[in-house]
Structure 1
Amino acid sequence: MGLFSFLSGNKSNKIQEFKERGAIIIDVRTVNEWNGGHIKGAKHIPLQEISAKISEIKKWNKPVITYCASGGRSGSAARTLEKQGIEAINGGGWKSLQQKLQR
């Protein structure tokens, strides 16, 4: 098992843990990307709007899983949320996250 396999497995475990704790899933992609398909039950908050929605997200009082197309924007969103005291994890790309959530 390589280093990246280990890290990937660890991320899957963290995603499952968040899921079991009732995590809110946030899609940070554009409206056009969202309209092209998304994870059922996810909330759509484009990356540019995350900072403006911090107080609303805090009120949910739940951990957050962010996702986008490949993981770059969702990583940025997760870091922004963490800096504001919200427990968040980067779920990566939406299709791979969808598979992990179905386990």
Structure 2
Amino acid sequence: MKHITPNEVEELVSQRNDQSIIDVREAEEAAAGKILGAVNIPLGLLEFRLQDLDKSKEHILVCRSGGRSAMAANFLENRGYKVMNMTGGMNDWQGPTE
């Protein structure tokens, strides 16, 4: 599994690249603040939302500390998706949120 730091994700967001960021925290957690443009798909619902994910794109997975997003990354990687886990999660995020 590939990893990406919060600073690297912030740089991608600031450049307005067409990155896919998936926040796998519960809806209540994401409602308190998520990375700009991130889509909230709670870990428990991920297997039911695979049709919403483009296999041709690389997806950045985010959670509170990096544990759930690592599980999500493994799940998706095993199904042929290109993914990166954001190390440290939102605990280490310093950028803007929505």
Give the TM-score category using the shorter length.
Answer: 0.7 to 0.9
Question: What displacement does 1:95 show?
Answer: 4.6
RMSD: 2.4
1:66–1:74 contact (8 Å) kept in structure 2: yes
Question: What displacement does 1:96 show?
Answer: 2.8
Q: Is 1:62 aligned to 2:57, yes or no?
A: yes
Gaps of 5+ in 2: none
Distance 1:58 1:87, change over 3 A: same
Greater C-alpha radius of gyration = 1
Q: Which moved more, 1:21-30 or 1:71-80?
A: 21-30
Q: Which moved more, 1:39-48 or 1:19-28?
A: 19-28
Task: Provide the TM-score with structure 2 as the length reference.
Answer: 0.73
Which structure is richer in relative contact order (CA contacts within 8 A, separation 6 or more)?
A: 2
Matches within 5 A, 1:36-75: 36-58=32-54, 61-75=56-70
Counterpart secondary structure, 1:50: helix
Distance 1:95 1:22, change over 3 A: farther
Following the alignment from structure 1 to structure 2, what is the Cα–Cα distance between the partners of residues 89 and 39? 15
Deviations 1:18-61 (A, max 9, x none): x48733000000111011111010000000011111122136x3
Percent of residue pairs bearing the same amino acid type: 35
Question: What displacement does 1:76 show?
Answer: 0.4
Gaps of 5+ in 1: 1-9
Q: How many residues align?
A: 86
